[in-house]
Amino acid sequence: MVRINRVYTGGGDTGETSLVDGSRRSKADPRFEVVGTCDELNAVFGLVAMEANRMPAHEDGGNRATVQRVQTILSMVLKRVQNELFDLGAELACEPSKLPEYMVLISEEQSNVLVDEMDAWLEHLEPLTSFILPAGHGTEAMLHLARTVARRLERSVLRLKETEGDSAVRPTVQVYLNRLSDWLFVLGRWVTSGLGHDETLWQPLGKRGPETGVGKRIRRLHASDEDFADL
């Protein structure tokens, strides 16, 4: 059982902190960059959950069953993955060879669950005909943000391996993170579809036509304000 009486210890005042095995390193060490990014991703998951809980379950006409369905699935999967990310952060805070024997580690099982959920969601989604812009309503936009942070975490793990060698991180961790960012992308699409929203598709530059900006409109708006002030 974890028992924390106070958060501050003063041990990091000099810019160093401890790994799981007790060794000290600079807080700027690449391994702490990985741990910090994992923590950041977990925090973004918290924002996704917050936005999901904010979705109105009622509107004119009665209950919105689709919202309740989406909220139910999100509450289950987000909580599970948040716990997995916490497990992952603890593992990444140490070289694999120095991890405590009692620590239970992420395995292929967790990656397989992500794949199974993606397959289930994809059964109810239309194939993509274009790339998607990171947009949408609150929950959907937050899922896009989580996806980008997951990819950054994956890149930071690869940089750690380049610094400390291939044995710095278990291959299973790398596979899990690759699956996780894909999972977030598919989950975002499923949430968008389940709520009856449209995806924001990317339009290539050659198909968007001339880009004149909104300068003329801004000047017209301010001119209208000045005309109104003169009345």
pLDDT confidence band for 44 (50 / 70 / 90): very high
**What stretch of H or E contains 96?**
none
| Residue (of 198, 191, 157) closest to 176 by Cα position | 157
> What residues does each domain of the chain span?
16-229
What would the CATH number be for the domain defined by 16-229? Answer: 1.20.1200.10
CA pseudo-torsion sign 139, 145, 151, 154: negative
pLDDT digits (tens, 9 = 90+) for 80-101: 999 999 999 999 988 888 888 8
Distance CA(22)–CA(9), nearest Å, equals: 15
Decide if pLDDT at 226 tops 70: no
